[in-house]
Amino acid sequence: MDWFAEHRSTLSKAIDACNHRYAWTAYAESPSSKIHGKEPPIQGKANFERMLNRDFPLTMPGEVGRIGEEVSPYTREPLGISYPRVDVETLYQAMAAGKEQWAETSVNTRFGVCLEILHRCSQQLFENAHATMHTSGQSFIMAFAGSGANALDRGLEALAYAYKAVQDIPPTASWQRRFGSGPEIQLEKEYKLMPVGVAAVICCATFPLWNGYPALMASLATGNPVVMKAHPNATLPVAMLVRTCREVLAEAGFDPNLVTLAADTRSEPVAKTLLEHQDTAIVDFTGSPAFGSWIERHCSQLQVYTETAGCNSVVIESTDNLSAMATAIAQSLCQASAQMCTSVQNIHIPAAGIMAQGRQISFDEVAGAIVEAVNQLLEKPEQAAFLCGALVNDDIPDTISRLRSEGNKAGRILRDSAPYAHPQFSHARTATPLILEVSQQQKSLYSQELFGPISFIIKGQDSDDCLMAASSDAADYGAITSHVYSTDEAFILRAQQSFNRSGASLACNLINMPINFAAAYSDFHVTGLNPAGNACLTDLAFVCRRFRVVQNKVMKA
């Protein structure tokens, strides 16, 4: 059982892809049975269904009962799955037991275990997709790809960077010199990689493993025990991952408690207890800006890696393909009901309109094209279901209702939101995009993330005014993705400079593809330079502090 040898070429390809940042994936993104065969999709669904309404097959040290409050956004019924509730102190004692063995094993053995974990996860993407659907509300395809294959790629990408970082430290060195007129001194030096402590990974409700895989991989591969803190409504995908980790660790002769699950409930959250534990050294957080910035401010004793949220924007200056542009933007407003960290919220259009295919069209025409593109995308319920999925919780319909009831105070409704009828799940919690027209003076409405399918078309004086507003919002309120559409190269250059100076990345003229897509091995996801997060997934900085070096030097006689 040499997992490192078995998966070595995958790791090598991932490192090469990171170094050159071309398009590559290690995991099949499509759930098509043409790729996987007929059986796995059926088996995956059956496996998921077998997990419902019972204890999840996972026990934890320090278990003090079972909890579980997941409710499917599709069926609106409890999943009925219970997870261990843990006493944190006992859990941490158990996590400490195996840490020396793990720290002292060879780099290749550790990476072999991590690669095998990813491999086994790739073999259960169908169950993971159903688990993700019925917790986060994602559509099946999004749950299979975005929360499955694409997220696994980010895990492998983190491993690739971790491997580069640890390989940067030679295991030994010979050192010779004289001091003054003294004898030739020869020292044999050994450099040992040391873990820094327990890594707490706080996962979010909508993309439970998007940051979960890379954070887990980065910390575990560099020798640290990991506790996965799942969101109370999206515990199942995390629990499945933890179970897989523990199986692989145990098979390899390591203590399975090197990876544990901390499940909790809304009324008794456990995250702060983990963060305050003296053994915790690292926290990876995905979730609300409020808790994220609390962690950034208050956890100075920890390494803190956050991805939160901002108000992602589009600036429209001109286009040579109005309908393709409108469709690309519309798709972002619909995809996963805009519950993605890369979803667009704020669309800036000059008051006088734009040049489109060589003719001047009005503000209203541009806005209308986007509204129309949304309508077209959602015309067929199958397509709407495929694209939008369901809403993760009731906060989103509540926000939509509030905005609708506020009338013009919340902007002029360009497109109203309504539930759509899901073809499979008649009780699904759904909503189509609400699109509001506002002015820049109504900034308080749109200068934060309004989670879910809510977007603003913001009228600016001219295109540079739109650019200024959007890029300064990125600096002030955060942005994970920003877009510009323009046929004017000079404007594109100004836009790049302006967003880049705001600590934001920019995508230009993206059409004919899901513009929310962030490519592992190619896109540096989150810049760490604006309020939407302090860390990038993934780069050397994401991994190289998760271990330290101690050295032993011995004088040769």
Which position among 8, 66, 189, 404 is part of the footprint of its own copies (CB under 8 A)?
Answer: 189
**Which span sits near its own copies by CB under 8 A: 124-132, 190-198, 283-291, 434-442?**
190-198
Tell me the closest approach of the beta carbon of residue 455 to its own copies, in angstroms: 22
**Which span sits near its own copies by CB under 8 A: 13-21, 231-239, 254-262, 356-364?**
13-21
Closer residue to its own copies, CB minimum distance, 51 or 326 = 326
Which residue from 105, 282, 266 is spatially nearest to 274, judged by alpha carbons?
Answer: 282
Write each residue from 230 to 249 as x if it is in contact with its own copies (CB under 8 A), else as -, in one continuous string: --------------------
Tell me the closest approach of the beta carbon of residue 318 to its own copies, in angstroms: 14
Whole-angstrom distance, CA of residue 340 vs CA of residue 74? 18
What per-residue string of b and e applies to 3-14 under the rule 16 or more CB within 10 Å gives b? bbeebeebbeeb
Whole-angstrom distance, CA of residue 503 vs CA of residue 439? 24
Which position among 179, 359, 441, 490 is part of the footprint of its own copies (CB under 8 A)?
Answer: 179
Task: Compute CA distances 438 → 167, 267, 338, 435, whole Å.
Answer: 52, 37, 19, 10
Max Cα-Cα span within the chain: 88
Closer residue to its own copies, CB minimum distance, 300 or 441 = 300
Q: SS3 of 257, please?
A: helix
What per-residue string of b and e applies to 164-200 under the rule 16 or more CB within 10 Å gives b? bbbeeeeeeeeeeeeeeeeeeeeeeeeeebebbbbbb
End-to-end CA distance of the chain: 40
Tell me the closest approach of the beta carbon of residue 487 to its own copies, in angstroms: 10
CA atoms 477, 478, 482, 488: torsion sign: positive
Closer residue to its own copies, CB minimum distance, 367 or 510 = 510
Closer residue to its own copies, CB minimum distance, 179 or 441 = 179
**Which span sits near its own copies by CB under 8 A: 67-75, 234-242, 395-403, 539-547?**
539-547
Which position among 170, 359, 444, 490 is part of the footprint of its own copies (CB under 8 A)?
Answer: 170
Q: What does the radius of gyration of the chain's CA atoms come to, in whole angstroms?
A: 25
Question: Quick one: tokens of 347?
Answer: 């669309």
Touching its own copies, residues 97-136 (CB under 8 A): 100
Which position among 35, 64, 421, 541 is part of the footprint of its own copies (CB under 8 A)?
Answer: 541
What per-residue string of b and e applies to 515-540 under the rule 16 or more CB within 10 Å gives b? bbbbbbbbbebbbbbbbbbbbbbbbe
Tell me the closest approach of the beta carbon of residue 147 to its own copies, in angstroms: 17
Closer residue to its own copies, CB minimum distance, 109 or 500 = 500
Burial class (CB in 10 A: 0-12, 13-18, 19+), 359: exposed
Query: Total number of residues binding its own copies (CB under 8 A)?
Result: 73
Q: SS3 of 532, please?
A: coil
Tell me the closest approach of the beta carbon of residue 3 to its own copies, in angstroms: 26
Which position among 117, 165, 435, 475 is part of the footprint of its own copies (CB under 8 A)?
Answer: 165
Closer residue to its own copies, CB minimum distance, 66 or 294 = 294
In the sheet with 226-229, reading across from the earlier edge strand, the strands are 259-262, 226-229, 198-202, 280-286, 303-307
Which position among 174, 267, 405, 444 is part of the footprint of its own copies (CB under 8 A)?
Answer: 174
Question: Quick one: tokens of 350?
Answer: 């000059």
Q: SS3 of 160, please?
A: helix
Closer residue to its own copies, CB minimum distance, 439 or 500 = 500
Which position among 52, 96, 169, 361 is part of the footprint of its own copies (CB under 8 A)?
Answer: 169
Tell me the closest approach of the beta carbon of residue 500 to its own copies, in angstroms: 5
**Which span sits near its own copies by CB under 8 A: 20-28, 110-118, 205-213, 374-382?**
20-28
150 membership: H or E segment, kind and range: helix 150-167
Write each residue from 63 to 102 as x if it is in contact with its own copies (CB under 8 A), else as -, in one continuous string: -------------------------------------x--
Tell me the closest approach of the beta carbon of residue 447 to its own copies, in angstroms: 20
Closer residue to its own copies, CB minimum distance, 404 or 517 = 517
| Contact between 28 and its own copies per CB under 8 A | no
Whole-angstrom distance, CA of residue 83 vs CA of residue 85? 6
Tell me the closest approach of the beta carbon of residue 158 to its own copies, in angstroms: 14
Which residue from 259, 246, 262 is spatially nearest to 120, judged by alpha carbons?
Answer: 246
According to DSSP, the residues that pair with 260 across neighbouring strands are: 227
Closer residue to its own copies, CB minimum distance, 22 or 407 = 22
Tell me the closest approach of the beta carbon of residue 394 to its own copies, in angstroms: 32
Task: Compute CA distances 87 → 61, 70, 281, 295, whole Å.
Answer: 8, 21, 19, 22
The DSSP annotation for 417-456 comes to ------SS-TT----PPEEEEEEGGGHHHHSS---SSEEE
Tell me the closest approach of the beta carbon of residue 547 to its own copies, in angstroms: 9
Closer residue to its own copies, CB minimum distance, 19 or 401 = 19
Closer residue to its own copies, CB minimum distance, 53 or 551 = 551
Closer residue to its own copies, CB minimum distance, 101 or 461 = 101
CA atoms 247, 253, 257, 260: torsion sign: negative
Which position among 1, 23, 290, 490 is part of the footprint of its own copies (CB under 8 A)?
Answer: 23
Touching its own copies, residues 497-536 (CB under 8 A): 499-501, 503-514, 517, 519, 522-524, 527-529, 536
Closer residue to its own copies, CB minimum distance, 274 or 445 = 274
Whole-angstrom distance, CA of residue 523 vs CA of residue 21? 8
Touching its own copies, residues 428-447 (CB under 8 A): none
Touching its own copies, residues 259-318 (CB under 8 A): 296-301, 304
Closer residue to its own copies, CB minimum distance, 427 or 556 = 556
